[in-house]
Structure 1
Protein backbone atom coordinates (compact mmCIF):
# COMPACT_ATOMS: atom_id res chain seq x y z
CA UNK A 1 0.00 0.00 0.00
CA UNK A 2 1.41 3.38 -1.05
CA UNK A 3 1.90 6.02 1.64
CA UNK A 4 0.03 9.31 1.33
CA UNK A 5 2.16 12.14 -0.05
CA UNK A 6 2.75 14.93 2.49
CA UNK A 7 4.02 18.39 1.51
CA UNK A 8 6.25 20.12 4.07
CA UNK A 9 6.95 23.81 3.54
CA UNK A 10 10.11 25.39 4.94
CA UNK A 11 10.85 29.08 4.38
CA UNK A 12 14.47 29.90 5.19
CA UNK A 13 16.21 33.20 5.84
CA UNK A 14 19.64 33.53 7.48
CA UNK A 15 19.37 30.30 9.48
CA UNK A 16 22.66 28.63 8.55
CA UNK A 17 23.29 27.83 12.21
CA UNK A 18 20.12 25.75 12.53
CA UNK A 19 18.88 24.60 9.12
CA UNK A 20 20.86 21.33 9.11
CA UNK A 21 18.98 20.18 12.20
CA UNK A 22 15.63 21.23 10.71
CA UNK A 23 16.19 19.39 7.43
CA UNK A 24 17.62 16.29 9.14
CA UNK A 25 14.59 16.05 11.40
CA UNK A 26 12.36 15.84 8.31
CA UNK A 27 14.55 13.41 6.39
CA UNK A 28 14.46 11.11 9.44
CA UNK A 29 10.66 10.93 9.55
CA UNK A 30 9.17 7.45 9.82
CA UNK A 31 6.65 8.46 7.16
CA UNK A 32 8.85 8.47 4.07
CA UNK A 33 6.56 9.70 1.31
CA UNK A 34 6.90 13.47 1.46
CA UNK A 35 8.20 16.44 -0.46
CA UNK A 36 10.22 19.04 1.46
CA UNK A 37 9.61 22.39 -0.21
CA UNK A 38 12.35 24.81 0.83
CA UNK A 39 12.60 28.43 -0.26
CA UNK A 40 15.66 30.51 0.54
CA UNK A 41 14.36 34.04 0.98
CA UNK A 42 17.48 35.84 -0.29
CA UNK A 43 19.64 34.92 2.72
CA UNK A 44 22.83 36.90 3.23
CA UNK A 45 24.64 34.13 5.12
CA UNK A 46 25.49 30.60 3.91
CA UNK A 47 22.00 29.16 4.39
CA UNK A 48 21.72 28.33 0.69
CA UNK A 49 25.10 26.55 0.72
CA UNK A 50 23.90 24.40 3.62
CA UNK A 51 20.75 23.44 1.72
CA UNK A 52 22.69 22.58 -1.43
CA UNK A 53 24.78 20.05 0.50
CA UNK A 54 21.78 17.70 0.61
CA UNK A 55 21.23 15.18 -2.16
CA UNK A 56 17.70 13.89 -1.64
CA UNK A 57 15.12 13.83 -4.42
CA UNK A 58 12.38 14.69 -1.90
CA UNK A 59 13.91 18.14 -1.35
CA UNK A 60 12.60 20.74 -3.80
CA UNK A 61 14.51 24.00 -3.55
CA UNK A 62 13.25 27.42 -4.60
CA UNK A 63 15.24 30.64 -4.37
CA UNK A 64 13.87 34.17 -4.00
CA UNK A 65 15.98 36.74 -5.83
CA UNK A 66 14.96 39.34 -3.27
CA UNK A 67 13.64 39.05 0.27
CA UNK A 68 9.83 38.94 0.32
CA UNK A 69 9.31 37.89 3.94
CA UNK A 70 7.96 34.88 5.81
CA UNK A 71 4.28 35.29 4.92
CA UNK A 72 4.72 35.58 1.15
CA UNK A 73 7.33 32.83 1.08
CA UNK A 74 4.97 30.45 2.90
CA UNK A 75 2.16 31.31 0.49
CA UNK A 76 4.43 30.66 -2.48
CA UNK A 77 5.51 27.27 -1.16
CA UNK A 78 1.92 26.25 -0.36
CA UNK A 79 0.98 27.00 -3.98
CA UNK A 80 3.64 24.48 -5.07
CA UNK A 81 2.46 21.70 -2.74
CA UNK A 82 1.43 18.44 -4.43
CA UNK A 83 0.68 16.45 -1.29
CA UNK A 84 -2.74 15.36 -0.09
CA UNK A 85 -1.83 17.06 3.19
CA UNK A 86 0.41 20.03 3.97
CA UNK A 87 2.42 20.90 7.07
CA UNK A 88 5.11 23.34 8.16
CA UNK A 89 8.67 23.20 9.40
CA UNK A 90 10.48 26.38 10.34
CA UNK A 91 14.13 26.33 9.37
CA UNK A 92 15.36 27.07 12.90
CA UNK A 93 13.17 24.44 14.62
CA UNK A 94 12.94 20.64 14.43
CA UNK A 95 10.42 17.79 14.50
CA UNK A 96 10.11 14.48 16.30
CA UNK A 97 10.88 11.62 13.92
CA UNK A 98 7.27 10.34 14.19
CA UNK A 99 5.55 13.71 13.87
CA UNK A 100 4.10 13.16 10.38
CA UNK A 101 3.12 9.57 11.18
CA UNK A 102 1.27 10.58 14.38
CA UNK A 103 -0.56 13.54 12.86
CA UNK A 104 -1.63 11.53 9.83
CA UNK A 105 -2.93 8.73 12.03
CA UNK A 106 -5.18 11.17 13.93
CA UNK A 107 -6.46 12.70 10.68
CA UNK A 108 -7.52 9.24 9.50
CA UNK A 109 -8.94 8.16 12.87
CA UNK A 110 -10.91 11.30 13.75
CA UNK A 111 -11.64 12.49 10.21
CA UNK A 112 -10.19 15.88 11.18
CA UNK A 113 -9.27 18.61 8.73
CA UNK A 114 -6.45 20.17 10.76
CA UNK A 115 -4.36 18.39 13.39
CA UNK A 116 -1.72 20.01 15.56
CA UNK A 117 0.44 18.93 18.47
CA UNK A 118 1.94 20.21 21.66
CA UNK A 119 5.42 21.68 21.40
CA UNK A 120 8.68 21.55 23.30
CA UNK A 121 9.95 25.09 23.77
CA UNK A 122 13.62 26.07 23.93
CA UNK A 123 14.70 22.55 23.07
CA UNK A 124 18.34 21.77 23.71
CA UNK A 125 18.59 24.30 26.54
CA UNK A 126 18.27 24.11 30.30
CA UNK A 127 14.81 25.70 30.27
CA UNK A 128 12.89 23.23 28.13
CA UNK A 129 9.16 23.18 28.70
CA UNK A 130 6.21 21.48 27.08
CA UNK A 131 3.28 23.65 26.04
CA UNK A 132 -0.02 21.78 25.98
CA UNK A 133 -3.12 22.78 24.05
CA UNK A 134 -6.80 21.76 24.17
CA UNK A 135 -7.37 18.58 22.17
CA UNK A 136 -10.93 18.69 20.81
CA UNK A 137 -12.56 21.15 18.44
CA UNK A 138 -15.01 22.68 20.92
CA UNK A 139 -12.34 23.33 23.54
CA UNK A 140 -10.06 24.86 20.91
CA UNK A 141 -12.78 27.22 19.68
CA UNK A 142 -13.71 28.16 23.26
CA UNK A 143 -10.10 29.11 23.91
CA UNK A 144 -10.34 31.76 21.19
CA UNK A 145 -12.25 33.96 23.66
CA UNK A 146 -8.87 34.61 25.25
CA UNK A 147 -7.46 37.04 22.69
CA UNK A 148 -4.32 35.76 21.04
CA UNK A 149 -4.74 32.34 22.65
CA UNK A 150 -2.43 29.85 21.01
CA UNK A 151 -4.75 26.88 21.09
CA UNK A 152 -2.87 25.64 18.07
CA UNK A 153 0.85 25.96 17.48
CA UNK A 154 0.55 26.76 13.76
CA UNK A 155 3.88 25.28 12.68
CA UNK A 156 2.87 21.90 14.10
CA UNK A 157 -0.37 21.76 12.13
CA UNK A 158 -1.07 19.33 9.30
CA UNK A 159 -4.04 20.18 7.11
CA UNK A 160 -5.77 18.84 4.04
CA UNK A 161 -5.70 20.29 0.54
CA UNK A 162 -9.44 20.87 0.99
CA UNK A 163 -8.62 23.46 3.66
CA UNK A 164 -6.10 25.18 1.42
CA UNK A 165 -8.44 25.25 -1.57
CA UNK A 166 -11.21 26.89 0.46
CA UNK A 167 -9.37 29.48 2.61
CA UNK A 168 -5.84 29.56 1.18
CA UNK A 169 -3.02 30.24 3.60
CA UNK A 170 -1.94 33.63 4.94
CA UNK A 171 -3.54 36.97 4.05
CA UNK A 172 -1.41 39.85 2.80
CA UNK A 173 -2.98 42.30 5.24
CA UNK A 174 -0.90 40.61 8.00
CA UNK A 175 2.35 40.80 6.04
CA UNK A 176 5.29 41.95 8.21
CA UNK A 177 3.07 42.57 11.27
CA UNK A 178 2.58 38.95 12.41
CA UNK A 179 -0.46 36.98 13.62
CA UNK A 180 -1.03 35.72 10.07
CA UNK A 181 -1.07 32.18 11.47
CA UNK A 182 -3.58 33.11 14.19
CA UNK A 183 -5.84 34.74 11.61
CA UNK A 184 -5.57 31.59 9.47
CA UNK A 185 -6.51 29.25 12.34
CA UNK A 186 -9.48 31.45 13.24
CA UNK A 187 -10.73 31.34 9.65
CA UNK A 188 -10.19 27.59 9.43
CA UNK A 189 -12.17 26.99 12.63
CA UNK A 190 -15.28 28.45 11.01
CA UNK A 191 -15.49 25.71 8.37
CA UNK A 192 -13.27 22.82 9.46
CA UNK A 193 -12.64 20.48 12.40
CA UNK A 194 -9.56 21.23 14.52
CA UNK A 195 -7.83 18.65 16.72
CA UNK A 196 -4.63 18.60 18.79
CA UNK A 197 -2.69 15.57 19.98
CA UNK A 198 -1.02 15.58 23.38
CA UNK A 199 2.35 14.35 22.17
CA UNK A 200 4.94 17.11 21.83
CA UNK A 201 6.00 16.51 18.24
CA UNK A 202 7.35 19.96 17.36
CA UNK A 203 10.56 21.34 18.86
CA UNK A 204 10.47 25.13 18.96
CA UNK A 205 13.68 27.11 19.30
CA UNK A 206 13.42 30.46 21.08
CA UNK A 207 15.77 32.16 18.62
CA UNK A 208 16.46 35.81 19.57
CA UNK A 209 17.35 36.59 15.93
CA UNK A 210 14.17 35.17 14.39
CA UNK A 211 11.56 37.37 12.74
CA UNK A 212 9.31 37.19 15.79
CA UNK A 213 12.16 38.44 17.99
CA UNK A 214 13.18 41.36 15.76
CA UNK A 215 11.48 44.51 16.97
CA UNK A 216 11.17 47.71 14.94
CA UNK A 217 9.24 50.53 16.54
CA UNK A 218 7.33 51.80 13.50
CA UNK A 219 6.33 48.35 12.18
CA UNK A 220 5.74 46.47 15.39
CA UNK A 221 3.63 49.15 17.00
CA UNK A 222 0.81 47.47 15.04
CA UNK A 223 2.48 44.05 15.15
CA UNK A 224 2.25 43.86 18.93
CA UNK A 225 -1.51 44.20 18.67
CA UNK A 226 -1.96 42.03 15.55
CA UNK A 227 -3.46 39.04 17.44
CA UNK A 228 -6.11 41.39 18.83
CA UNK A 229 -6.79 42.72 15.32
CA UNK A 230 -7.12 39.15 13.97
CA UNK A 231 -9.55 38.30 16.76
CA UNK A 232 -11.68 41.40 16.15
CA UNK A 233 -11.88 40.45 12.47
CA UNK A 234 -12.95 36.94 13.52
CA UNK A 235 -15.73 38.33 15.71
CA UNK A 236 -16.86 40.57 12.87
CA UNK A 237 -17.18 37.59 10.55
CA UNK A 238 -19.05 35.53 13.13
CA UNK A 239 -21.47 38.39 13.72
CA UNK A 240 -21.93 39.05 10.00
CA UNK A 241 -20.15 42.41 10.07
CA UNK A 242 -17.43 43.91 7.86
CA UNK A 243 -14.09 42.45 8.92
CA UNK A 244 -12.09 44.80 6.66
CA UNK A 245 -13.62 47.78 8.43
CA UNK A 246 -12.42 46.29 11.73
CA UNK A 247 -8.92 45.83 10.32
CA UNK A 248 -8.75 49.42 9.09
CA UNK A 249 -10.14 50.74 12.36
CA UNK A 250 -7.64 49.01 14.63
CA UNK A 251 -4.52 49.31 12.49
CA UNK A 252 -5.05 53.07 12.34
CA UNK A 253 -5.70 53.16 16.08
CA UNK A 254 -2.59 51.23 17.05
CA UNK A 255 -0.29 53.23 14.80
CA UNK A 256 -0.73 55.94 17.43
CA UNK A 257 -1.15 53.70 20.46
CA UNK A 258 1.84 54.09 22.83
CA UNK A 259 1.01 51.08 25.01
CA UNK A 260 2.03 48.70 22.23
CA UNK A 261 5.42 50.42 22.10
CA UNK A 262 5.86 49.50 25.74
CA UNK A 263 5.12 45.89 24.84
CA UNK A 264 8.10 46.03 22.46
CA UNK A 265 10.56 47.34 25.02
CA UNK A 266 9.40 44.88 27.66
CA UNK A 267 9.94 42.01 25.24
CA UNK A 268 13.43 43.27 24.48
CA UNK A 269 14.05 43.35 28.20
CA UNK A 270 12.73 39.88 28.92
CA UNK A 271 14.84 38.41 26.07
CA UNK A 272 18.01 40.08 27.36
CA UNK A 273 18.43 42.46 24.42
CA UNK A 274 19.49 45.35 26.65
CA UNK A 275 21.28 47.52 24.08
CA UNK A 276 18.30 47.44 21.73
CA UNK A 277 16.05 48.11 24.72
CA UNK A 278 17.94 51.31 25.63
CA UNK A 279 18.12 52.56 22.01
CA UNK A 280 14.43 51.94 21.45
CA UNK A 281 13.39 53.53 24.73
CA UNK A 282 15.38 56.69 23.94
CA UNK A 283 13.65 56.82 20.54
CA UNK A 284 10.28 56.45 22.24
CA UNK A 285 11.04 59.32 24.60
CA UNK A 286 11.78 61.50 21.60
CA UNK A 287 8.59 60.52 19.79
CA UNK A 288 6.37 61.08 22.81
CA UNK A 289 8.04 64.31 23.90
CA UNK A 290 9.36 62.96 27.21
CA UNK A 291 5.91 62.37 28.67
CA UNK A 292 5.82 61.64 32.39
CA UNK A 293 4.01 58.38 31.64
CA UNK A 294 7.15 56.98 30.06
CA UNK A 295 9.37 58.18 32.90
CA UNK A 296 7.22 56.23 35.35
CA UNK A 297 7.26 53.15 33.17
CA UNK A 298 11.01 53.46 32.65
CA UNK A 299 11.66 53.23 36.37
CA UNK A 300 9.41 50.20 36.64
CA UNK A 301 11.35 48.50 33.86
CA UNK A 302 14.69 49.61 35.33
CA UNK A 303 13.62 48.04 38.64
CA UNK A 304 13.00 44.77 36.82
CA UNK A 305 16.52 44.95 35.36
CA UNK A 306 18.03 45.41 38.81
CA UNK A 307 16.10 42.44 40.15
CA UNK A 308 17.36 40.28 37.30
CA UNK A 309 20.97 41.36 37.79
CA UNK A 310 20.91 41.10 41.60
Structure 2
Protein backbone atom coordinates (compact mmCIF):
# COMPACT_ATOMS: atom_id res chain seq x y z
CA UNK A 1 0.00 0.00 0.00
CA UNK A 2 1.42 3.35 -1.06
CA UNK A 3 2.06 5.79 1.81
CA UNK A 4 0.46 9.22 1.42
CA UNK A 5 3.13 11.85 1.98
CA UNK A 6 2.18 14.89 4.08
CA UNK A 7 1.65 18.08 2.10
CA UNK A 8 4.27 20.82 2.49
CA UNK A 9 3.54 24.52 1.99
CA UNK A 10 6.64 26.39 0.83
CA UNK A 11 6.28 30.05 1.79
CA UNK A 12 8.42 32.60 -0.07
CA UNK A 13 8.07 36.21 1.12
CA UNK A 14 9.60 38.73 -1.26
CA UNK A 15 10.15 42.45 -1.44
CA UNK A 16 12.05 43.93 -4.39
CA UNK A 17 14.03 40.77 -5.07
CA UNK A 18 13.31 40.52 -8.81
CA UNK A 19 16.92 39.65 -9.65
CA UNK A 20 17.01 36.72 -7.23
CA UNK A 21 13.54 35.26 -6.80
CA UNK A 22 13.39 33.20 -9.99
CA UNK A 23 16.21 30.93 -8.84
CA UNK A 24 14.61 30.59 -5.41
CA UNK A 25 11.29 29.64 -7.00
CA UNK A 26 12.92 27.17 -9.39
CA UNK A 27 14.68 25.46 -6.49
CA UNK A 28 11.25 25.02 -4.87
CA UNK A 29 9.59 23.79 -8.06
CA UNK A 30 12.37 21.30 -8.72
CA UNK A 31 12.06 19.53 -5.37
CA UNK A 32 11.95 15.75 -5.67
CA UNK A 33 9.26 15.81 -2.98
CA UNK A 34 5.98 15.88 -4.91
CA UNK A 35 3.22 16.73 -2.42
CA UNK A 36 3.86 20.45 -2.13
CA UNK A 37 2.47 23.89 -2.84
CA UNK A 38 4.40 27.12 -3.25
CA UNK A 39 3.00 30.35 -1.83
CA UNK A 40 4.73 33.55 -2.89
CA UNK A 41 3.82 36.62 -0.84
CA UNK A 42 4.82 39.75 -2.75
CA UNK A 43 5.06 42.31 0.04
CA UNK A 44 4.45 45.41 -2.07
CA UNK A 45 7.43 45.10 -4.44
CA UNK A 46 8.04 48.12 -6.68
CA UNK A 47 10.59 46.46 -8.98
CA UNK A 48 10.01 43.84 -11.72
CA UNK A 49 9.06 41.00 -9.35
CA UNK A 50 5.58 40.53 -10.83
CA UNK A 51 6.93 40.46 -14.39
CA UNK A 52 9.63 37.92 -13.49
CA UNK A 53 7.05 35.64 -11.87
CA UNK A 54 4.33 36.04 -14.50
CA UNK A 55 5.20 32.87 -16.42
CA UNK A 56 5.11 30.77 -13.22
CA UNK A 57 1.83 32.03 -11.79
CA UNK A 58 -0.20 29.70 -14.04
CA UNK A 59 1.58 26.69 -12.53
CA UNK A 60 -0.92 24.74 -10.42
CA UNK A 61 1.62 24.44 -7.60
CA UNK A 62 2.27 28.21 -7.39
CA UNK A 63 0.01 30.63 -5.52
CA UNK A 64 1.05 34.28 -5.99
CA UNK A 65 -0.37 36.80 -3.51
CA UNK A 66 0.30 40.53 -3.62
CA UNK A 67 -0.17 42.70 -0.54
CA UNK A 68 0.73 46.24 0.42
CA UNK A 69 4.11 46.41 2.14
CA UNK A 70 3.72 45.19 5.73
CA UNK A 71 7.07 43.57 6.45
CA UNK A 72 8.45 40.03 6.30
CA UNK A 73 6.64 38.79 9.41
CA UNK A 74 3.22 39.72 8.09
CA UNK A 75 4.14 38.31 4.67
CA UNK A 76 4.98 34.95 6.25
CA UNK A 77 1.81 35.07 8.36
CA UNK A 78 -0.23 35.70 5.23
CA UNK A 79 1.34 32.63 3.65
CA UNK A 80 0.67 30.51 6.74
CA UNK A 81 -2.97 31.65 6.82
CA UNK A 82 -3.65 30.24 3.33
CA UNK A 83 -1.32 27.24 3.54
CA UNK A 84 -2.96 23.86 2.92
CA UNK A 85 -0.02 21.73 4.03
CA UNK A 86 0.50 20.02 7.35
CA UNK A 87 4.10 21.28 7.22
CA UNK A 88 5.38 24.78 6.45
CA UNK A 89 8.84 25.36 4.95
CA UNK A 90 10.21 28.90 4.80
CA UNK A 91 12.36 30.00 1.85
CA UNK A 92 13.69 33.54 1.48
CA UNK A 93 13.54 35.08 -1.98
CA UNK A 94 17.33 35.24 -2.40
CA UNK A 95 18.11 31.74 -1.09
CA UNK A 96 18.03 28.38 -2.89
CA UNK A 97 17.52 24.76 -1.89
CA UNK A 98 19.06 21.47 -2.93
CA UNK A 99 16.41 19.63 -4.95
CA UNK A 100 16.25 16.85 -2.34
CA UNK A 101 15.83 19.14 0.67
CA UNK A 102 12.15 18.54 1.35
CA UNK A 103 12.40 14.82 0.69
CA UNK A 104 15.15 14.48 3.26
CA UNK A 105 13.74 16.90 5.81
CA UNK A 106 10.22 15.47 5.87
CA UNK A 107 11.57 11.93 6.27
CA UNK A 108 13.80 13.21 9.09
CA UNK A 109 10.88 14.91 10.85
CA UNK A 110 8.51 11.98 10.48
CA UNK A 111 11.02 9.32 11.54
CA UNK A 112 12.04 11.21 14.69
CA UNK A 113 8.67 12.72 15.60
CA UNK A 114 10.12 16.24 15.65
CA UNK A 115 7.95 19.36 15.47
CA UNK A 116 10.61 21.49 13.78
CA UNK A 117 13.84 20.85 11.91
CA UNK A 118 16.66 22.83 10.33
CA UNK A 119 19.44 21.69 8.01
CA UNK A 120 22.99 22.83 7.56
CA UNK A 121 23.66 25.44 4.85
CA UNK A 122 26.27 27.27 2.81
CA UNK A 123 26.65 31.06 2.83
CA UNK A 124 26.91 32.65 -0.63
CA UNK A 125 27.32 36.18 -2.00
CA UNK A 126 25.20 37.99 -4.62
CA UNK A 127 26.87 35.98 -7.37
CA UNK A 128 26.06 32.73 -5.51
CA UNK A 129 29.73 32.11 -4.82
CA UNK A 130 30.33 30.35 -1.53
CA UNK A 131 31.87 32.76 0.94
CA UNK A 132 33.27 29.79 2.84
CA UNK A 133 33.99 26.39 1.35
CA UNK A 134 32.66 24.71 4.49
CA UNK A 135 29.02 24.67 5.56
CA UNK A 136 27.88 27.19 8.17
CA UNK A 137 27.56 24.71 11.04
CA UNK A 138 30.94 23.10 11.79
CA UNK A 139 31.52 19.41 11.29
CA UNK A 140 30.46 17.62 14.42
CA UNK A 141 27.98 20.31 15.44
CA UNK A 142 25.20 18.86 17.56
CA UNK A 143 22.04 20.50 18.79
CA UNK A 144 21.07 20.19 22.46
CA UNK A 145 19.02 17.30 23.83
CA UNK A 146 15.28 17.95 24.11
CA UNK A 147 15.36 18.73 27.83
CA UNK A 148 17.96 21.51 27.26
CA UNK A 149 16.69 23.01 24.02
CA UNK A 150 14.82 25.94 25.53
CA UNK A 151 17.58 26.92 27.97
CA UNK A 152 20.19 26.62 25.20
CA UNK A 153 18.13 28.82 22.91
CA UNK A 154 18.01 31.54 25.55
CA UNK A 155 21.81 31.72 25.27
CA UNK A 156 22.36 31.48 21.53
CA UNK A 157 20.35 31.85 18.34
CA UNK A 158 20.86 30.09 14.99
CA UNK A 159 19.58 30.21 11.40
CA UNK A 160 15.88 29.79 12.13
CA UNK A 161 14.68 31.05 8.75
CA UNK A 162 15.66 27.62 7.38
CA UNK A 163 13.00 25.77 9.32
CA UNK A 164 10.52 23.13 8.28
CA UNK A 165 7.75 23.04 10.87
CA UNK A 166 4.34 21.55 11.58
CA UNK A 167 1.72 24.14 10.64
CA UNK A 168 -0.53 23.49 13.62
CA UNK A 169 2.12 24.44 16.16
CA UNK A 170 2.69 27.75 14.35
CA UNK A 171 -1.02 28.47 14.67
CA UNK A 172 -0.89 27.50 18.36
CA UNK A 173 1.64 30.28 19.10
CA UNK A 174 0.03 32.89 16.77
CA UNK A 175 2.79 32.67 14.15
CA UNK A 176 5.21 35.59 13.73
CA UNK A 177 4.99 38.71 15.91
CA UNK A 178 4.55 41.57 13.44
CA UNK A 179 5.14 44.19 16.15
CA UNK A 180 8.85 43.28 16.14
CA UNK A 181 9.14 45.01 12.73
CA UNK A 182 11.31 42.31 11.19
CA UNK A 183 13.89 42.36 14.00
CA UNK A 184 14.76 38.91 15.40
CA UNK A 185 11.28 37.65 14.55
CA UNK A 186 12.57 34.12 13.87
CA UNK A 187 14.32 33.99 17.23
CA UNK A 188 11.17 35.15 19.00
CA UNK A 189 9.09 32.49 17.26
CA UNK A 190 11.49 29.70 18.22
CA UNK A 191 11.63 30.80 21.85
CA UNK A 192 7.84 30.72 22.02
CA UNK A 193 7.73 27.30 20.35
CA UNK A 194 10.33 25.75 22.63
CA UNK A 195 8.78 27.31 25.73
CA UNK A 196 5.72 25.25 24.73
CA UNK A 197 7.88 22.07 24.82
CA UNK A 198 8.10 21.63 21.05
CA UNK A 199 11.01 19.51 19.82
CA UNK A 200 13.48 20.39 17.09
CA UNK A 201 16.07 18.40 15.20
CA UNK A 202 19.19 19.27 13.22
CA UNK A 203 19.94 17.66 9.85
CA UNK A 204 23.73 17.95 9.27
CA UNK A 205 23.80 17.86 5.47
CA UNK A 206 23.97 21.37 3.89
CA UNK A 207 20.78 21.58 1.81
CA UNK A 208 20.47 25.37 1.45
CA UNK A 209 22.48 28.21 -0.02
CA UNK A 210 21.78 31.32 2.05
CA UNK A 211 22.69 34.62 0.44
CA UNK A 212 24.40 37.39 2.39
CA UNK A 213 24.34 40.57 0.35
CA UNK A 214 26.78 43.45 0.73
CA UNK A 215 25.40 45.82 3.33
CA UNK A 216 22.65 43.45 4.42
CA UNK A 217 24.29 42.90 7.82
CA UNK A 218 25.77 46.36 8.35
CA UNK A 219 22.65 48.25 9.38
CA UNK A 220 24.42 49.58 12.44
CA UNK A 221 22.80 50.15 15.81
CA UNK A 222 19.07 49.75 15.48
CA UNK A 223 16.54 51.14 17.96
CA UNK A 224 14.09 48.63 16.49
CA UNK A 225 16.43 45.77 17.44
CA UNK A 226 16.74 47.07 20.99
CA UNK A 227 12.96 47.36 21.37
CA UNK A 228 12.43 43.93 19.79
CA UNK A 229 14.89 42.18 22.12
CA UNK A 230 13.27 43.78 25.14
CA UNK A 231 9.83 42.62 24.03
CA UNK A 232 11.09 39.10 23.20
CA UNK A 233 12.53 38.53 26.66
CA UNK A 234 9.61 40.19 28.44
CA UNK A 235 7.50 37.35 26.98
CA UNK A 236 9.75 34.85 28.77
CA UNK A 237 9.37 36.45 32.24
CA UNK A 238 6.60 34.04 33.33
CA UNK A 239 9.03 31.14 32.70
CA UNK A 240 12.45 32.46 33.75
CA UNK A 241 11.63 35.47 35.94
CA UNK A 242 12.40 39.18 35.67
CA UNK A 243 16.11 39.07 36.49
CA UNK A 244 17.05 36.33 34.02
CA UNK A 245 14.90 37.91 31.32
CA UNK A 246 16.69 41.23 31.84
CA UNK A 247 20.15 39.65 31.79
CA UNK A 248 19.43 37.71 28.60
CA UNK A 249 18.12 40.90 27.01
CA UNK A 250 21.34 42.77 27.85
CA UNK A 251 23.44 39.80 26.78
CA UNK A 252 21.84 39.56 23.34
CA UNK A 253 21.88 43.32 22.86
CA UNK A 254 25.60 43.39 23.63
CA UNK A 255 26.17 40.43 21.31
CA UNK A 256 24.31 42.20 18.51
CA UNK A 257 26.47 45.30 18.90
CA UNK A 258 29.59 43.13 18.94
CA UNK A 259 28.44 41.48 15.70
CA UNK A 260 27.97 44.91 14.14
CA UNK A 261 31.52 45.85 15.18
CA UNK A 262 32.89 42.70 13.50
CA UNK A 263 30.93 43.42 10.31
CA UNK A 264 32.22 47.01 10.27
CA UNK A 265 35.79 45.75 10.72
CA UNK A 266 35.42 43.35 7.79
CA UNK A 267 34.06 46.19 5.66
CA UNK A 268 36.98 48.41 6.82
CA UNK A 269 34.48 51.14 7.68
CA UNK A 270 36.40 53.25 10.20
CA UNK A 271 33.44 55.47 11.10
CA UNK A 272 31.25 52.50 11.98
CA UNK A 273 34.09 50.76 13.83
CA UNK A 274 34.53 53.79 16.09
CA UNK A 275 30.77 54.12 16.54
CA UNK A 276 30.32 50.53 17.66
CA UNK A 277 33.36 50.59 19.96
CA UNK A 278 31.90 53.68 21.62
CA UNK A 279 28.48 52.03 22.04
CA UNK A 280 30.01 48.86 23.45
CA UNK A 281 32.38 50.57 25.89
CA UNK A 282 30.13 53.32 27.25
CA UNK A 283 28.45 50.84 29.59
CA UNK A 284 30.13 48.15 31.72
CA UNK A 285 27.11 45.93 31.11
CA UNK A 286 27.67 45.95 27.36
CA UNK A 287 31.38 45.23 27.79
CA UNK A 288 30.69 42.31 30.12
CA UNK A 289 28.31 40.75 27.62
CA UNK A 290 31.21 40.29 25.21
CA UNK A 291 33.02 38.14 27.76
CA UNK A 292 29.78 36.38 28.70
CA UNK A 293 29.04 35.63 25.05
CA UNK A 294 32.42 33.98 24.58
CA UNK A 295 32.12 31.96 27.78
CA UNK A 296 28.70 30.66 26.81
CA UNK A 297 29.95 29.65 23.36
CA UNK A 298 32.48 27.38 25.07
CA UNK A 299 29.80 25.92 27.35
CA UNK A 300 26.91 25.96 24.89
CA UNK A 301 24.92 23.11 26.26
CA UNK A 302 26.26 22.68 29.78
Counterpart in the other structure of 1:130 = 135
> What root-mean-square deviation, in Å, do the aligned CA atoms of Structure 1 and Structure 2 show?
3.6
- Tell me the distance in 2 between the aligned counterparts of 1:262 and 1:189: 26
Among 57, 65, 76, the alignment partner of 1:62 is: 65
Find the partner of 1:215 among 215, 219, 223.
Answer: 219
CA–CA separation in structure 1 for the residues paired with 2:73 and 2:86: 22
Structure 1 length-normalised TM: 0.73
CA offsets, 1:120-150, max 9 Å, x none?
A: 112523534312253443454453252x431
Unmatched runs of 5 consecutive residues or more in structure 2: 283-302
Pairing 1:1-310 to 2, within 5 Å after superposition = 1=2, 2-54=4-56, 55-65=58-68, 67-122=69-124, 124-132=129-137, 134-135=142-143, 136-138=145-147, 140-146=149-155, 148-150=156-158, 153-176=159-182, 178-191=183-196, 192-208=198-214, 210=216, 213=217, 215=219, 220-223=222-225, 226=228, 230-231=232-233, 233-234=235-236, 236-239=237-240, 266=261, 269-270=264-265, 272=267, 274=269, 278=271
List alignment gaps of at least 5 residues for structure 1: 294-310
Q: Which has the larger radius of gyration?
A: 1
Q: CA 1:98/1:78 → structure 2, altered by over 3 Å: closer, same or farther? A: same
| Inter-partner Cα distance in structure 1 for 2:256 and 2:98 | 37
C-alpha distance in structure 2 between counterparts of 1:86 and 1:164, whole Å: 9
Question: Given that residues 122 and 130 in structure 2 are in contact (C-alpha distance below 8 angstroms), is that contact kept between their aligned partners in structure 1?
Answer: no
Q: Is the 8 A contact 2:220 2:272 kept in 1?
A: no
Aligned pairs, number: 270
Query: C-alpha distance in 2, partners of 1:77/1:61?
Result: 10
Any idea what SS the aligned residue of 2:135 has?
strand
Deviation at 1:175, TM superposition (A): 1.8
How far is the alpha carbon of 1:250 from its aligned partner?
A: 10
Q: Give the 3 Å change call, closer, same or farther, for CA 34–267 of structure 1 in structure 2.
A: same
Give the drift of 1:34. 0.8
1:154-202 CA distances to partner (integer Å, 9 max, x unpaired)? 22211112212311311133124x1111111111112211111111112
Partner of 2:295: none
Alpha-carbon deviations, 1:69-98, whole Å to 9, x = none? 111111111111110111100000011111
